[in-house]
Chains A and B, each alone.
Chain A
Amino acid sequence: MSVSYRDGTRLERAFQRENDHRALFIAYVMAGDPDLETSFEILKGLAEHADVIELGMPFSDPMAEGPTIQLASQRSLAAGTKMRDVLGLVRRFREINTVTPIVLMGYLNPVLFHGYGAFANDAADAGADGVIIVDCPPEEADPLTDALEAARMNLIRLATPTTDDKRLPAVVARTSGFIYYVSVAGVTGVLEADAEAVRGPVERLRAASGLPVAVGFGIKTPERAAQVARVADGVVVGSALVDEIAAAAKMNKNVTEKVLLKASELAKAVRSARLEMA
Chain B
Amino acid sequence: MNASVKPNDWSAYPDAKGRFGDYGGLYVAETLMPLVLELDRAYTEAKNDPKFQAELKGYLTHYVGRPSPLYFAERLSKHLGGAKIYFKREELNHTGAHKINNCMGQILLAQRMGKTRIIAETGAGQHGVASATVTARFGLPCVVYMGAVDVARQKPNVFRMNLLGAEVRPVTSGAATLKDAMNEAMRDWVTNVADTYYMIGTAAGPHPYPAMVRDFQAVIGSETREQIQELEGRLPDAVVACVGGGSNAIGMFHPFLNDETVKIYGVEASGHGLETDKHAASLTGGRPGVLHGNKTYLLQDDDGQILDAHSISAGLDYPGIGPEHSFLHDVGRAQYLTCTDAEALEAFQLCAELEGIIPALESAHALAKLPQLAKEIGEGGVIVLCLSGRGDKDIFTVADALGRTI
Contact = CB atoms under 8 A, between A and B. Distances in A.
Nearest to A71: B173
A162 B193 contact: yes
Contacts of B292: 61, 63
A61 B291 CA distance: 8
B304 A110 contact: yes
Give me the 8 closest cross-chain CB pairs, A-B, nearest first.
A113-B304, A110-B304, A186-B191, A160-B31, A60-B305, A60-B306, A158-B30, A108-B290
A135 B28 contact: yes
Interface in A99-125: 107-114
A29 to B, nearest CB: 19
Interface string B280-293: 00000000011111
A185 B191 contact: yes
Contacts of B28: 135, 137
Contacts of B51: none
Interface in B161-187: 173-174, 179-180, 183, 186-187
Nearest to B306: A60
A168 to B, nearest CB: 11
A225 to B, nearest CB: 22
Contact of A162 (B25, B31, B289, B306): B31
A134 B29 contact: yes
Interface string B5-39: 00000000000010000000111111111110000
Task: Name the residue in B27, B34, B190 with the highest tally of chain A Cβ atoms < 10 Å from its Cβ.
Answer: B27
B190 A109 contact: no
A74 B172 CA distance: 12
B121 to A, nearest CB: 12
B140 to A, nearest CB: 21
B304 A112 contact: yes
Interface residues of A, number: 45
Interface string A137-167: 1011000000000000000011111111001
Interface of A: 58-67, 70, 74, 77, 82-83, 107-114, 134-137, 139-140, 157-164, 167, 171, 182, 185-187, 190-191
Nearest to A58: B305
B289 A185 contact: no
Contact of B29 (A64, A67, A114, A139): A64
Contacts of A160: 29-31
A167 B33 contact: yes
Nearest to B184: A63
Nearest to A157: B30
Given A109-B300, A112-B289, A140-B25, A63 B187 contact: yes
A61 B289 contact: no
Given A64-B29, A109-B289, A190 B300 contact: no
Nearest to B36: A137
Contacts of A186: 31, 187, 190-191
Interface string B258-296: 000000000000000000000000000000011111000
Contacts of B35: 162
Given A110-B303, A164-B34, 10 more contacts: A59-B305, A62-B183, A63-B29, A108-B27, A109-B298, A109-B300, A114-B304, A158-B29, A160-B30, A185-B31
Contacts of B298: 109
B309 to A, nearest CB: 12
B183 A112 contact: no
Interface string B100-138: 000000000000000000000000000000000000000
A136 B291 CA distance: 11
Nearest to A191: B191
Interface in B59-92: none
A187 B32 CA distance: 11
A16 B276 CA distance: 54
A136 B27 contact: yes
Contacts of B186: 63
A67 B290 contact: no
A61 B306 contact: yes
B383 to A, nearest CB: 37
